[in-house]
């Protein structure tokens, strides 16, 4: 079967802040540069999760958007998303999206928002906003992004974090962790957008997504000179400014 990548963009119009749409552009381009055709499907409010999504992306959003989206995901929709990840689909979720992949997010002065429990994690709005550049030591090497959140995420005992914070605050500014991983789903607080300047993670997501239907995938290497320069400059800025 000819290889093609289908990306499901969750709540594209409602949850897309701090450049998060750049992640979808990077995923699309990095597949197309290898001759792999890509479909991007927006999955909005009231729309079911299509059965043929290889890779989900879910960006950040403010608390009010999260409330509407949390309600939309309850029941069959959230269960279908969880089943897709259990079946090997890949996913990147950032900030507000990441928080709703846990058990719940408790905003300031509002009822807790239910998550889908993909990650054994709980997020609670804290007194301060964490804003700034972040460097995370991870299995993909140093990852760099920009955080802007008041939510503090605590991972359950068995949850693998995306990595450990070298610079910045991360999940909660307390335990040194940032993000979470479950199978091929990665959640984090790294806006920016993350993937254009972290190509190793971008390619890991593309390869895992393709493998679900096509078996082992060995992506050809790309030159990535611009990506490497952007990564180095962002890491330097992060280390110098925090």
Of 200, 147, 138, give the one whose Cα is nearest residue 171.
147
Does residue 161 touch ligand GLN according to CB under 6 A?
no
Does residue 151 touch ligand GLN according to CB under 6 A?
yes
Does residue 102 touch ligand GLN according to CB under 6 A?
no
Contacts of 234 (CB under 8 A, 6+ apart): 133, 144, 145, 192, 197
Does residue 95 touch ligand GLN according to CB under 6 A?
yes
Which residue number, 152 or 209, has a Cβ lying nearer to ligand GLN? Answer: 152
Total residues found in the chain within this entry = 242
For the question of residue 149 being annotated catalytic, the response is no
Does residue 60 touch ligand GLN according to CB under 6 A?
yes
Stretch of 32-40, 143-151, 172-180, 203-211 contacting ligand GLN, by CB under 6 A? 143-151
d(CA 103, CA 22) in angstroms, rounded, equals 27
Of 124, 101, 117, 126, give the one whose Cα is nearest residue 187.
101
Separation in Å, CA 130 to CA 106, 134, 209: 16, 10, 31
Stretch of 55-63, 83-91, 158-166, 169-177 contacting ligand GLN, by CB under 6 A? 55-63
Does residue 63 touch ligand GLN according to CB under 6 A?
yes
Binding site for ligand GLN (CB under 6 A): 17, 60-63, 66, 95-96, 99, 148-151
């Amino acid at each position: 079967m000819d290889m093609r990548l289908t990306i499901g963009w969750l709540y594209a119009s409602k949850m897309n802040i701090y450049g998060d749409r750049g992640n979808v552009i990077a995923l699309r381009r990095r597949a197309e540069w290898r001759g792999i055709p890509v479909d991007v499907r927006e999955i909005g409010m009231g729309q079911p999760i299509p059965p043929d999504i290889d890779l989900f992306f879910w960006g950040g959003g403010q608390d009010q958007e999260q409330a509407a989206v949390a309600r939309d995901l309850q029941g069959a929709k959230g269960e279908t998303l969880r089943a897709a990840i259990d079946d090997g689909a890949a996913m990147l979720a950032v900030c507000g999206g990441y928080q709703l992949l846990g058990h719940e997010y408790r905003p300031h002065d509002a009822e807790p928002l239910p998550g889908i429990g993909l990650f054994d994690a709980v997020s609670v709005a804290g007194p301060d906003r964490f804003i700034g550049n972040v460097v995370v030591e991870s299995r993909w090497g140093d990852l760099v992004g920009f955080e802007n959140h008041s939510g503090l995420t605590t991972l359950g005992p068995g949850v693998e974090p995306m990595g450990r914070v070298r610079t910045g605050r991360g999940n909660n500014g307390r335990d040194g962790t940032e993000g979470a991983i479950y199978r091929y789903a990665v959640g984090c607080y790294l806006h920016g957008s993350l993937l254009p300047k972290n190509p190793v993670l971008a390619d890991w997501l593309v390869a895992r997504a393709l493998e679900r239907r096509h078996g082992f995938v060995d992506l050809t290497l790309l030159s990535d000179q611009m990506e490497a320069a952007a990564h180095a400059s962002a890491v330097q800025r992060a280390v110098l400014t925090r």
